[in-house]
Amino acid sequence: MILVPSHRRLLNGNKFLAVIILSSFLLACSKKTAPVATLPKKPVETTDKKEESRIEKSDVKEQRSIALLLPFYLNSINPQTADLKSINKAGLAIDYYQGFKFALDSLSSDGYNFKLNVWDSREQEVQIVNLARAKSVQENDLIVGPVFPESILTFNEFYKPENKLQISPLAASTPDQYNNPGLVTVNNTIDEHGWKVADFINKNYKPSKVNLLLINTKKTDDEKFASPIKKYIKSISENGFVIHELPNSIGLETALSKTLTNIVIVTSDDKAFVLPTIDRLYKSSRQGLKIELFGHPNWIKAQFLNVEKMQGLNTKITASYFIDYKSEDVKNFTSRYRQEFGLEPSEFAVKGFDTGYFFGKLLGKYGTDYLNHISTEQYQGLHNKFHFKKDEKFGYTNTEVMMLKYSGFELQVIK
């Protein structure tokens, strides 16, 4: 059973209505659990009787508690007068919460037993500090959140869990800035994306057959992606590949080989830089040059890319989030989620579900010893795989990164 209210199913897909209903519930709890000026008290708990009655008492496992710290911003939202703009601000948290709880509901039907305690992090420093100091948060078996890097940093300044894990559910920031050996970074870091590119090139091409170009403006964000690519290609290929680094696409045509396959890595996601670079490469490919393009991970959400050009350049993009809507698992999840909430599951709902299912099952299966099994358990989620590696100082990171390619004028996972 999950000790949070089960919401009545909505009869239509009105996102606004869903947020209002959930905001009303969480705002009521927030007044009792997380006052700004004092330490939060323990949340009000109610039991889902229908869920409990479906499980024989002898089959119910020991109850495990999970703290969910999300930015609902309910201190600034009035459910009676809120407009769409203010509601959208809480959308990420609402969707993630629904997906996470939906996962625990699914596990509960198999006999696992959870208590889910939900707090509004508000993205206010004093609130984050209060939550970090609160015993009602610290006593949980697993802590999920806060969401944003600055809040995680503040939380860890006042509390670092021992003998339990704290999940960073959405931030892709490198965990070395938090210095928390119990932190689990679910979203792939830019280093992991760089490793995937380097490993793919090393496994699929021969140094003597390619001309490897890295277009890197040296801007801070671009260098974050370029640096691990260069580092890992050098280390895993034993200097077999020679990287020719260019600061921009000016004169790019003269750097392209007419006899070798040109592997071009563009480390920027800036539209003003990317579009003319792609145009130059596509024009060269139309003139008969062999070109294979690797793009920045953020390209997966870019609306300005021309699919025909992307496919013509044999473009590949690393990704930590991709849903195959043709798969039976995704179809089943979407149908069940739509039936439960009357809404289509968003990216954050899917991520909440996968995180809730993996860590909920891990906690239910192994109890308080679950952190000793996180690196040995693997999970094929709806949006990505989970396989965590441990760093004794900085915690756990997910090593599973997908490589996507344009095929049939759409992105598909390279198996």
- Amino acid identity for residue 28 in this structure: A
pLDDT digits over 147-172, tens only? 999 999 999 999 999 999 999 999 98
pLDDT value of residue 48: 47
The CATH class of 15-188+326-401 is alpha beta
Q: Which residue has the higher pLDDT, 39 or 99?
A: 99
Burial 240-256 (b: 16+ CB within 10 A, else e): ebebeebeebeebeeeb
Specify the domain boundaries for CATH 3.40.50.2300 within the chain.
15-188+326-401, 190-319
Q: Which residue has the higher pLDDT, 391 or 57?
A: 391
Yes or no: say if 382 and 389 are a contact pair by the CB < 8 Å rule: no
Alpha helices in 287-415 (DSSP H): 307-312, 328-341, 347-366
Cα separation, 11 vs 378, whole angstroms: 36
Residue 25's pLDDT band, with cuts at 50, 70 and 90, is low
pLDDT digits over 82-119, tens only? 667 777 788 999 999 999 999 999 999 899 999 999 99
**Percent of the chain residues past pLDDT 90, beyond the cut:** 76
- Whole-model pTM over 0.75: yes
The CATH class of 190-319 is alpha beta
pLDDT value of residue 90: 87
- The answer to whether residue 236 scores a pLDDT higher than 80 is yes
Q: Which residue has the higher pLDDT, 343 or 118?
A: 118
Yes or no: say if 292 and 313 are a contact pair by the CB < 8 Å rule: yes
Cα separation, 44 vs 28, whole angstroms: 9
Q: Which residue has the higher pLDDT, 58 or 166?
A: 166
